[in-house]
Structure formats: C-alpha cells, structure tokens
Structure 1
C-alpha cells in the first residue's frame, strides 16, 4: 500500500514540473566565437565582424570558420544588421575574444562594450584586445596549427598571460575598473602579421577612463606588470650586459623572475603635493648566458648591478609614460582615496595624477643559473 501511495504522489508531482523557460536549442542559434569592431569616423558608424564556427553535421569538432560583417550606428544596431545576414539567431555566450581597432579604442571603449554588459548571455571570460589599424583583417588570418581563428587568438592571449607578458583582461574584470575613479585599465595590443599569417603581440594599450591614450611595447609592458605587483608568470626578459666585438650573441642574458617583493608608498611632501615611491626587489633565474662564469661571485655581482641599473631606468621611463597617458593602472588613486580621503574629496584626480612625482627603484639578485657551473 505504501508503494502504491508513493507512485501516485510521484505521478501527480509530474504535472507541476515545467521545462526551462529560457531554453535555446543549438540547432536554432548561431554562436559567435570572436568579434572585431571597427569605427568609421567619416560616416560615424561601427563595423561589427564576427567569426562563426561552421562545419558539416558529421564532424564532431568543427574545423571551419565563417566570417560575417555588418555596419550600424551602434554595436547593437550592427548585431541587428548581422541577424539579417545569418540564418539563425546570434548568441555571444561562447564568445572567446572581442577586439577593437585602435581608432575605436581612442574614441570610447565602453560604447562598444555596453551591449555585452547588458546581456545575460554574454561570455564574461571573453578576452579583450586592441588591434593596430583595422580589427577585421585579423579574423581573416590563416594559421596552420589552429584551424579556428577564435581558438588561435584566445590561446595567443592566454599563453601571454601565463608567461607574465600581458595582464589578464576580460569582459568581467574590465567593467569594475571602468567605473573606478582610482584606477585605469590596460589592454593587450595585437597586429596582423604580413600575408595574414597570424597575429603578433606588440605590447599594451594605456587607457584613461574609457579612452586609449598611450601605449607600451612588449618589454615596457612586463615592467609595468612588475610595478603593479603582478606575480603571474615568469616575466622573462633579455638584456644586453656586455659588448663582445667577436660574437654579439655573448652580449645578452635572459632572466626569469623567480620571486618578487614590491613596496608602494604614497605620501604628501612639505608643499602638500603627492609623491609615489616604488621599491621592487626581484629574485632572478639566469636561464641563458653564453658569457658563462656564473659560478664566480664577481660575475654575479656585476650582472646584478647592471640589471638593477637598467631595470630602474626602464621602470622610471614606464612611470613617465603612464603619467603622460593619464593612465592610473597602478591604482595610486585608490591609495589617495584610502589614506587621504579629505584631499580626495576636494580634488579632481585626473587633473592631479599627471603632476605627481613618481620614482621607482629596482634591486635585482640572480639566485639561480641553471644546472651548469
């Protein structure tokens, strides 16, 4: 009798079960895997180019990409125009990379992101990048090792993040900073390789509020990440430490950062102006040095001194460049807000930041040099 009652209750409960109200079948939609956005200043329009994964139904893993473009007065308008060209409804839930032309980045980055933030189906982990020149051609790049351009671009950015060459920049962590008065963002910069043979990482784009206002090359980008206390990746660097007239290949040392300690201090001087001092201690691993003799103390001491002086010089150049771009990537504004709140309330930080004095000092110590000598 108990079993019959249980069965009856289960059967009656089935009438109260409902399906997913927002169910979308994959056969009814087209999934955007990457997108590139260009700006036409003459017509005041944006060009949205998307990469859709395509292939026949017998393929377990799609191996083809379809590229579609459309123009509109805004990003959402461009999506509407794309819907007219694609036979299925477009969804960005599987988007991996969103790229902006430099012209668009210098105008306003948020205008291109607003629609993504307002949609509950946007992929929050999609990487963001600025493309030198127009953004569309990079989606037409042909790569041998990756048949899908979206996978290639995603892996290119993620591998650079993992080695400490660029910061991790995605849709989610960018929104928080865009609305933060005390910090600015930076984004990876890419360019299309000649003959559409792929893409190349060329550094980072500096932003002030929502506009790109400057740039750093690849070596300077690593220095900026170290100043920002980024401990992800090896931050590999190659520097010239001597001059060999016989073979220049012996002039360079390549080092990885094994350990680091950063101290950032913000204070007011006797004139009431803000000053910033950054002290950076780097423990290095020399993983290539053809000059050899790393077992000798005086050689290690000389390399430590040379690298400390060179990186200190480079760090101060980077500080000058981010000030000129009015890009507060190091979140100095947050420090002022936290420890000098009354001053923060009475100043316009974007006017004060470029005038503050910022100095860096880098101390390098090579602690490892491989398994030889």
Structure 2
C-alpha cells in the first residue's frame, strides 16, 4: 500500500517538472507567406505584395476529403518593408509568418534605390527566411506576384523551382538572403542577382540575365550570353553551359552560319599584378568544349575545325570583353578584385583602391579553347 502511494505521488509531480513547448507556433494561427514582392511608389512608400497558400478542394467538392492549395495575394503599403507587413497583418485573421518565404522579388525601381533596408528585417530575425532567393524583376514585382502560371499551385514554389533550374543551366548566380546581405554590407565585392521579366500572354516568367549592383544599388544589366560568360570567368559554372556562335561574319545570315557549343569543363586562373602602385588583373580561363550543332557539317576536316575554333574564340572573347566593360561601367565588382587587393596589398588598397571605381583597374581576359568532341565518331 505504501509503495503504491509513493508511485502515485511520483507520477503526480513528474509532469510539473517537464518544460513543455514554450515557443510553439500553431499552424492554424499563422499565415505562411511563400512569396514577397516589393515595389516603391512615387511618394517613396514601399508596396508589398505577399502571396500565401489557401486550401481548396473541400470547399469545391464536399464529397472528397482530399484538398489541394492555391495562392492568394495581399497588398499593403508602409514606410519600411516591415511596416508593410505589419499593415498586412491588420487585414487577415491569422498572424503573418515570413519564416517559409521561398523568394523575395524586387521591382527594378526598388532595386535601383537599394536592397538592404528591405532585407534587413529578415536578416535580423532569428526565424527569418535566410534561404529565400533574391530576384530582380524588370518593371514591377507586383506583376510577377500576380502571374497566373499553371506549373505550380503556389507561386512561391513556382519561382523557387524556376530559379533552381536557371542556376543549374548557368543563367545566373545562386544568391539568397544569407549570402547576399554580407556583400551588401562589406562593399568589397558586389552581387549579381537573377533578372526576370513577365510574359502575361504566355503566363510565365522569363530569364533575361543578371542585374549588376554597386554596393546595394542596381546599376546595370547583363543579357543571357554575358551572364553565362561571367559565370565562366568567375569560376562558378556548375553545369554544362551552351553558347550560340555566328561563324559567318559577312553576308546574309542563314541557319548554316551558326554553331552551338557546350562548355564541359573550365579551369580558371586569376592573376593580380601590381607595378608602380598600379594594379591590373588578368583572367585566364581554359575551356574544354564540344560541338552540339553545326548544320554545315564537314567536321572531320582539320582545316575546317581550325577555322571554326578560331571563330569561336574570337566571338566568345568579344562576349567576355563586353561583359567586363559592362561590369566596369556599372562599377560592379562581381569578381571581388578589391577584396583581392585588400588581402594581398593592404597598404596600396588603403592608399588608392579603397572604394575606387572598377574602371581604374585594367582587366584583361585570355580564353583558351580545346575541342574534345565534335559530336561525330572521329
């Protein structure tokens, strides 16, 4: 009897010693925001369009227990990015939760004003969506948020998959909130972010290249071939990258005047030289490639192969030089050249190159090509 009483007392007091879930967030009390788009109006107010999933299926078909999701959009405005979300919270019954945001879209005007202030509240928040992709939209971000695409029920999921595909294809770099915010603060290396536009008629987004940044402000653009070239020069190519090259520089263009190559492997070497207190950079990249399309054929002829190889080198070298010129014009140090000068020649950096325009640093490019496969049994 006494033993039973002791056990009963222990069982009564043990639950009092358990901690419990003091920081729980019930899903039924939250609105999980999956996608945010920021724009700026003429008065300087921030316009936020937030997209979050709502259930359907049970409402449309009472005989079915299965339910799917679709997105709805909530628009709000405020003086800061967080202020817009606080205003949005006034219009829904649950609490807004941005911890699951998959992509943050910025309109072009907003990007030219600067990004860090809008990313600050997410970067500071311990539960912020640090893995959310950061994207620039030609025009307004609201257009991309309201896009009625058919490839995913949830818009946030659509853009997350879209960006993942573009990164794998070599269209743009892989930046999220966690990786881009230190660059916006450090000022010795600049980010290049995915640049998209919206096709309403086709109900889809489209990759158009990358947005160039000087510190936190957008200052220029690269098109798709230039974006691919930047990734090669920067040594960040992950997958095979294809280029369309024009072989006939004179006369009327025909289908036979183009060749498509696929870069298989790259070996990059960046050389920083300092002479007479003047820095210069040489970007040397060795590319191994194969020909994936050449309508003219005759690729078994050594003379023909040498001529094609020469034309490919000339064409892509021009693309590389144009890419570097655009980076210098936009003062976008995507290669982290100032960072290299700071690390290796600190006194010279303090004296001359701290926050110096990228135009003051000559950048030369040296592309070396090796054809390893013509697509024909050799």
For 1:340 and 1:327, how far apart are their aligned partners in 2?
A: 21
State which of 240, 260, 268 in structure 2 corresponds to 1:234.
240
- Give the direction of change, closer, same or farther, for the CA distance of 1:349–1:320 in structure 2 (3 Å limit): farther
Counterpart mapping for 1:1-373 below 5 A: 13-40=14-41, 42-56=42-56, 58=58, 62-195=68-201, 197-242=203-248, 248-270=254-276, 272-370=277-375, 372=377
CA gap of 1:311–1:28, structure 2 versus 1, over 3 A, is: same
CA distance in 1, matches of 2:356, 2:252: 52
Shift of 1:26: 0.6
Aligned residue-pair number? 369
Question: CA offsets per residue over residues 86-127 of structure 1, 9 Å max, x none?
Answer: 221011111111000110100111011111111122221111
Distance 1:372 1:289, change over 3 A: farther
Match in the other structure for 2:61: none
Q: Deviation of residue 165 (structure 1)?
A: 1.2
Larger displacement relative to structure 2 (142-151 or 100-109): 142-151
Alpha-carbon distance change, 15 to 342 in structure 1, aligned in 2, over 3 angstroms: same
Distance 2:237 2:312 in 1: 19
Q: Over residues 268-314 of structure 1, what are the superposed CA-to-partner deviations in whole Å (9 max), with x where a residue is unaligned?
A: 234x2111111111001222222222233223222221111111111
- Give yes or no for contact 1:305–1:364 (8 Å, CA) kept in 2: no
Cα separation, 2, equivalents of 1:6 and 1:327: 72
CA distance in 2: counterparts of 1:89 and 1:216, whole angstroms: 39
- Residues 181 and 333, structure 1, Cα contact 8 Å, conserved in 2: no
TM-score using structure 2 length: 0.91
Unaligned 5+ runs, structure 2 = 59-64
Equivalent residues of 1:50, 1:69 under 8 A apart = yes
TM-score by length of 1: 0.92
Q: How many Å separate the matches in 1 of 2:83 and 2:183?
A: 26
Q: What is the deviation of 1:60?
A: 5.4
Secondary structure at the residue paired with 2:306?
helix
Name the stretch that deviates more: 254-263 or 339-348: 339-348
**Deviation of the 1:349 alpha carbon:** 2.6
CA distance in 2, matches of 1:261, 1:6: 71
Q: What's the Cα RMSD here?
A: 2.4
Q: Any idea what SS the aligned residue of 1:347 has? A: helix
C-alpha deviation, 1:259, in angstroms: 0.7
Deviation of 1:254 after TM superposition, in Å, equals 1.4
Cα gap change, 1:351 to 1:247, in 2 (>3 Å): closer
Closer/same/farther in 2, CA of residues 15 and 141 from structure 1, 3 Å limit: same
Q: Structure 1 residues 68-77 or 296-305, which shifts more? A: 296-305
Q: 1:73 to 1:357 in 2, by over 3 A?
A: same
